[in-house]
Structure 1
Amino acid sequence: MIKTRRLLVAGMTAALVAALGACSDGGDDLSANGSVAQQSQPAQQAQPSPEVVHGLRDTVRHVTRKTADATRAHLVRKCTSTTERVRHTSRSGSGTRKTTRVWYTTEHHETCKKVRQGTERYKRVVRRERWCVSLDDVNGHKSQDDVWYRVDRVTYDQVLQADQHTRVEFTPAGTGC
């Protein structure tokens, strides 16, 4: 029974991860000025990126971070103290001279838990900031054009300074944009 339940939960988790992974690449393609760009042909998806890629600089894209105001429960730590009367016994002696001594002490305990007390506002990140570079002739393959790579900010700045269709080489952080 337990093994069946574990297998069921593992299968559901795998299906959920696969579904979320398939949905994460979708979204709006933003141009450099932040507007939604309609592409006449779909960009080719790159294969899992190798250590270093090189190609001809095509396009760069900076996708800004997007946030939204949201509210969540405000949790505060609330503690209650309790006391407990504890009975102690001590036995001494042997045989008929055995005596038992009894005394009581009071022990103090404090239990704390987080309880909801109103709500608080915060900024929820809807879309993370990312920097992307599109290459032509990726790794010398003339057929691989318009392949997007996610890069860090420093690499983005370096590629941005390069002229159009010059050879650039970098280590991507991921594929797609």
Structure 2
Amino acid sequence: MFKRFATAAVTAFLIAGLGACGGEGDSYDEGSDYSVDAGQELDQGGGSVAGDSQPDAGATADASVFGLRDETRHRTARTTRATRPHMTKKCTTTTRRVRHTSTTGSGTKRHTRTWYSTEHAKSCKQVRSGTETYTRVVRPEQWCVSLDDVGGDKGQDDVWYQVTRTTYDTAVATDEHERMEFTPKDSGC
């Protein structure tokens, strides 16, 4: 009996450990032939909601990529005016009478003194007070670089990556079809 319990406990421990190791990184989308970041939201068609193009199979956000510089693209932030509830802080003050007692002496010489005080309490909460307009960011500013022959594969052409502003500036200063290596922020643009 003890041997079965020990075997079951060891098996459960190994499964939990392997599950913790396998829960990170990329997950495979069964409806398509590419992997996506586990935290990235997908639409019903299998594509990424955040980008206009499908992610590349070899692209991961934490690995560097290399290839021949093709094109660069700067996409400005897209904003819109929107409304939301305007919240204000409303506070109320309450008072209550508190009874206090103090005892001195002992036995027949025991004397109890009673007095009262008023305590104030303040409670605040957020309440809706009309609406307010604000600027909502529909798409953040993006800097993008396209590479040909990604990873040395002649068939991997016109692959877009979102990059930092520094990498974008370096790409603009680099001649077309020059070799570039960088770590992308995201795939697609």
| Normalised-by-shorter TM-score class | 0.7 to 0.9
| Aligned twin of 2:41 | 21
Contact 1:133 1:151 in 2 (8 A): yes
Amino acid at match of 1:25: S
Taking the aligned partners of 1:132 and 1:89, their CA distance within structure 2 comes to 75
Does the residue aligned with 1:21 lie in a helix, a strand or coil? coil
Q: Identify the match of residue 142 of structure 2 among 124, 127, 130.
A: 130
What is the alpha-carbon root mean square deviation over aligned residues?
2.6
Deviation of 1:133 after TM superposition, in Å, equals 0.9
TM-score by length of 1: 0.74
Counterparts of 1:94-173 in structure 2, within 5 Å, are 94-173=106-185
| Aligned partners of 1:92 and 1:100 also within 8 Å | yes
Secondary structure at 1:61 match in 2: strand
Give per-residue Cα distances to partners, 1:63-114, cap 9 Å, x unaligned. Answer: 2211111111111112111211110011122112222110001111111111
Indicate the residue corresponding to 1:15 in structure 2: none
Picking from 76, 85, 105, the partner of 1:73 is 85
Q: Aligned partners of 1:47, 1:132: CA distance in 2, in Å?
A: 14
Distance across 2 between alignment mates of 1:48 and 1:27: 15
The equivalent of 1:92 in structure 2 is: 104
Residues 149 and 84 of structure 1: is their aligned pair in 2 closer, same or farther, counting only changes over 3 Å?
same
Aligned with 2:67 (options 48, 55, 62): 55
Unmatched 5+ stretches in structure 2: 1-37
The CA deviation at 1:46 is 3.5
1:2-43 Cα deviation digits (max 9, x unpaired): xxxxxxxxxxxxxxxx797212724775xxxxxxxxx9xx88
Contact 1:44/1:146, CA 8 A, preserved across alignment: no
Q: Distance in 2 between matches of 1:95 and 1:141?
A: 99
* TM-score normalised by structure 2 residue count: 0.69
Give 5+ residue unaligned stretches, structure 1: 1-17, 30-38
Identity %: 54
Cα distance in 2 for partners of 1:26, 1:114 equals 33
